[in-house]
């Protein structure tokens, strides 16, 4: 015990700061991969580590040799396997959201956008018309904008309702919004890679989760089957929102209100 207590003499303020920073980074990494397929992959790596330790401990030469070759192959394969998670982490670092910073709209602009979207979502939900709206924030979505029909139109309730009207040219796909303007409609989005989401969720909900997993965008979904309004942020889905709830959350997330992590806990 005295030997371990002697190590306390080497601990100073810099050591404590160093430990706290590493703990914070590990916590952030765990939050980033939570609910993704990376969790299962890490469990597989843990099994290989235990097997390697046991084979070395009991001198299982053949198994140990095979595991060594496996680790050599994994050194090349892991960056490819974890490509989505690595890309997401680097994007968050690049846009400065590591400590929660985000770009916002002016208060009046955010209020107008939230009101028009909530009105349109309620209109569509009452008639069981499906819709998918994506709001850009810090991460650019140009590659998805270019996959659809560019519009650059002023956002309004009437414009949104008209876009998603059934049997019209632009109703199928996502509408991407930047600020108070509709950038494009009928856009294609990536589907979520989360294997644990409910099988009840259709393509619109999976696309909403997918785009919010790969960027800091926000997505609003109106279900064609149930008329339910949902909001996706950070790969998480809030379902069963009413008009007032949706309007308030959009104002908070898009405007200069509380940051997204605090809203998530409300």
pLDDT at 259: 46
Mean pLDDT of 27-49: 74
Tokens of 19: 């430990």
* Residue 257 clears pLDDT 70, i.e. is over it: no
Say whether pLDDT at 252 is over 50.
Answer: yes
| pLDDT higher than threshold 70 for residue 91 | no
DSSP 3-state assignment of 208?
Answer: helix
Helix, strand or coil, per DSSP, at residue 258: coil
Residues in the chain: 266
Confidence at 42, pLDDT banded by 50, 70, 90: confident
Give residue 264's pLDDT band: very low, low, confident or very high (50, 70, 90).
very low
pLDDT at 195: 78
Contact 209, 221 (CB under 8 A): no
Contact 155, 177 (CB under 8 A): yes
CA-CA-CA-CA torsion sign (206, 139, 173, 188): negative
Q: How confident is the model at residue 125 (pLDDT cuts 50, 70, 90)?
A: very high
Q: What is the pLDDT of residue 187?
A: 96
Span 206-216, mean pLDDT?
90
Report the pLDDT value the prediction gives residue 122, as an integer from 0 to 100. Answer: 96
Which of 8-22, 199-213, 225-239 is the least confident region? 8-22
**Which CATH homologous superfamily contains domain 107-265?**
DNA integrity scanning protein, DisA, N-terminal domain (3.40.1700.10)
Higher-scoring residue by pLDDT: 80, 98: 80
Predicted confidence band at 260 (pLDDT cuts at 50, 70, 90)? very low
Encoded tokens for 42: 């890490």
Mean pLDDT, rounded, for 99-128: 83
**pLDDT for the residue 96:** 57
Query: Which sequence spans correspond to the domains of the chain?
Result: 2-81, 107-265
Collapsing DSSP to helix, strand or coil, 164 comes out as: coil
pLDDT tens digits, residue range 223-251?
999 999 999 998 899 999 999 999 999 99
∠ CA(156), CA(161), CA(167), 5° rounding?
A: 145
Judge residue 113's burial from the number of C-beta atoms within 10 Å of its C-beta, 0-12 exposed, 13-18 middle, 19 or more buried.
buried
Quick one: DSSP state of residue 97?
G
Q: What is the pLDDT of residues 140-193, one digit of tens each?
A: 788 899 999 999 999 999 999 999 999 899 999 999 999 899 999 999 999 987
What is the rounded end-to-end Cα distance, in angstroms, of the chain? Answer: 46
- Mean pLDDT across the stretch 119-138? 94
Task: Please give the pLDDT value at position 104.
Answer: 55
pLDDT above 60: residue 50: yes
């Amino acid at each position: 015990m005295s030997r371990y207590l002697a190590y306390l003499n080497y601990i100073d303020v810099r050591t404590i700061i160093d430990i706290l920073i590493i703990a914070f980074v590990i916590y952030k990494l765990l939050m980033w991969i939570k609910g993704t397929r990376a969790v299962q992959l890490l469990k597989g790596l843990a099994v290989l580590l235990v097997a390697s330790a046991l084979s070395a401990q009991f001198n299982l030469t053949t198994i140990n040799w095979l595991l060594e070759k496996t680790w050599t192959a994994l050194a090349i394969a892991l960056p490819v396997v974890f490509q989505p998670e690595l890309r997401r982490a680097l994007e968050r670092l690049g846009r400065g959201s590591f400590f929660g910073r985000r770009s916002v709209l002016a208060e009046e602009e955010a209020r107008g956008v939230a009101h028009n979207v909530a009105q349109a979502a309620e209109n569509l939900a009452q008639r069981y018309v499906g819709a998918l709206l994506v709001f850009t924030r810090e991460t650019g979505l140009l590659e998805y904008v270019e996959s659809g029909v560019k519009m650059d139109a002023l956002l309004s309730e009437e414009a949104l309702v008209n876009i998603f009207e059934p049997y019209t040219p632009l109703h199928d796909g996502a509408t991407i919004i930047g600020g108070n303007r509709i950038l494009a409609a009928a856009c294609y989005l990536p589907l979520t890679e989360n294997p644990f989401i409910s099988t009840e969720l259709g393509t619109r909900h999976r696309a909403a989760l997918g785009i919010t997993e790969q960027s800091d965008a926000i997505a609003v979904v109106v279900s064609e089957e149930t008329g339910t309004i949902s909001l996706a942020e950070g790969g998480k889905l809030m379902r069963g929102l009413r008009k007032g709830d949706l309007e308030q959350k959009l104002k908070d997330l898009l405007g200069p209100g509380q940051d997204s992590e605090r809203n998530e806990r409300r």
